[in-house]
Each structure stands twice: as structure tokens, then as C-alpha cells.
Amino acid sequence: MAHEYLIIGAGPAGLPLAALPARGGRDHAVLEKHRDLPEAHQQPLVAFVEECLAGA
């Protein structure tokens, strides 16, 4: 499947970056090599992305 944007890594830069095409309704995917990110890393990033999308 083809995407307009492909973000490599779901870390502190990747997830906020993924919010940008999501805001614009653009097709994108985020690839992450680690299957299980520690909960301590996931929660702040997900909250930040949700906050960004809420302001869209």
C-alpha cells in the first residue's frame, strides 16, 4: 500500500511529526522497529499528538 508520507520511528520526533499530515487529512504511516515501546515513552507522546490533533 502506498502512502503520501512515511514517518520512520515512533519516538519523540516521529509521533509529533506524524501529527502534521494527520492534521491536514493526508495519508501517512508510521513505522517503528520496536514492537513494545515502554509505557513511559508512549503516554507523553500519544497525549502530545492527541493535543495537536484536537487543535486542528
pLDDT digits (tens, 9 = 90+) for 21-49: 888 889 988 888 877 666 655 566 667 66
Place of cell 509529533: 16
Question: How confident is the model at residue 34, as a pLDDT?
Answer: 73
Higher-confidence position of 51 and 13 = 13
Whether 19 shows a pLDDT value over 70: the answer reads: yes
Higher-confidence position of 54 and 8 = 8
Which three three-digit cell numbers place residue 22?
494527520
Question: How confident is the model at residue 43, as a pLDDT?
Answer: 64
pTM (2 d.p.): 0.59
Beta bridge partners of 6: 29
CA distances from 54 to 19, 22, 48 (A): 10, 11, 10
